């Protein structure tokens, strides 16, 4: 019986040593995910593991796509977050050509020839839509470019690999409005 008790104490001691080693590794790393890189990330509440990531997808289209000079067309922009994390402080940049004039823009959008719109946080799986009304100027084409980003995710990308938007190409888009005389 004394040998059995000794074996139990040895097993308990081995488990305690393993637990101490694991907790000191966790403390050295800082986040428990066994990767020092994540310790450089900007903290983001609700991030799944280490560095926050959110795939922002921007799309834009005009309504109508062809308009007479002096008439209005609405520029519809959609920003979708394909996750896996929430995207905080999302902004949309809109580059406008010289032959259109902004007639109305959403609250949070500033500028005239180019707009910077504060969209706010977008949870994973959610989307936000913005409508900008443009007045068509001189006949021809008017190409508008958009780009969506999260300032918080961009800060994380500067601090650590693997953070931010995993597919920046789909965070940008453009559309051409036909202006008739």
Tens of pLDDT, residues 13-31: 333 333 334 334 434 444 4
The distance of Cα 135 from the centroid of its chain, to the nearest Å, equals 30
What is the residue extent of each domain of the chain?
2-30, 54-180
Of the candidates 169, 161, 173, 155, which has an alpha carbon nearest to the alpha carbon of residue 87? 155
- pLDDT greater than 70 at residue 76: yes
Tens of pLDDT, residues 94-143: 999 999 999 999 999 999 989 999 999 999 999 999 999 999 999 999 99
Q: What percent of the chain has pLDDT over 90?
A: 54
Coil/strand/helix, residue 88: strand
The domain defined by 54-180 folds into: Immunoglobulin-like (2.60.40)
Q: Is 26 left (phi over 0), alpha (psi -120 to 50) or beta?
A: alpha
Phi first, then psi, for residue 119 (nearest 5°) are -90, -35
């Amino acid at each position: 019986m004394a040998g059995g008790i000794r074996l139990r104490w040895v097993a308990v001691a081995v488990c305690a040593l393993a637990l101490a080693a694991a907790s000191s590794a966790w403390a050295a790393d800082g986040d428990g995910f066994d990767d020092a890189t994540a310790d450089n990330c900007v903290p983001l509440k609700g991030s799944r593991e280490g560095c926050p990531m959110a795939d922002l997808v921007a799309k834009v289209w005009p309504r109508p796509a062809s308009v007479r000079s002096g008439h209005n067309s609405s520029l519809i922009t959609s920003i979708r977050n394909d996750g896996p994390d929430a995207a905080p402080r999302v902004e949309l940049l809109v580059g406008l050509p010289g032959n259109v004039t902004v007639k109305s823009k959403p609250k949070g959008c500033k500028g005239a020839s180019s707009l910077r719109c504060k969209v706010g946080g977008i949870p994973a799986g959610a989307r936000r839509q913005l409508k900008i009304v443009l007045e068509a100027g001189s006949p021809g084409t008017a190409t508008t470019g958009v780009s969506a980003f999260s300032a918080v995710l961009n800060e994380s990308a500067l601090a650590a690999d693997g953070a931010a938007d995993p597919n920046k190409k789909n965070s940008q888009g453009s559309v051409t409005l036909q202006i008739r005389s």
